[in-house]
A = this chain, B = another copy of it.
Amino acid sequence: MPVNDLRKDYMLDRWVVIAAQRRRRPTDFAERIREERIGVCPFCPGNEHMTPPAVLAYLPSDEGVRKECDQNGFRHKNWLIRCVPNLYPAFAPPESRAEEEIGGIHTRARAIGHHEVIIESPNHDEQFSVARTAQLAHVIGAYIDRLHDLYTKDYVRYVSIFKNYGREAGMSLSHAHTQLITVPFIPKILEEELRTSRNFFMEKGKCAFCDILETERDSPRSIWENDDFMVFAPWAAVHPYEFWIFPKRHQTSLLELSRVDMENLARVLRLCFGGLKLLLNDPPYNASFHIAPKEGTNDFYHWHFEVYPKLAVWAGFEKSTGIFINVVPPEDAAEDLREAVRKEEGML
Contact = CB atoms under 8 A, between A and B. Distances in A.
Interface of A: 1-8, 10, 13-15, 17, 19, 21-22, 88-95, 104-112, 158, 160, 162-164, 168-171, 179, 181, 183, 187-190, 208, 211-212, 215, 235, 286-290, 306, 308, 313-317, 319-323, 325
B160 A19 contact: no
A92 B3 contact: yes
Given A90-B4, A215-B104, A187 B322 contact: yes
Main secondary structure of the interface of A (DSSP, over half): mixed
Contacts of A190: 321
B313 A5 contact: no
A2 B3 CA distance: 52
Contacts of A111: 3-6, 17, 19
Given A6-B111, A95-B3, A164-B316, A235 B88 contact: no
Minimum-distance CB pairs A-B, first 7 = A170-B315, A162-B316, A187-B321, A288-B320, A188-B322, A286-B316, A8-B107
A161 to B, nearest CB: 9
Nearest to A180: B317
Contacts of A22: 88, 90
A316 B170 contact: yes
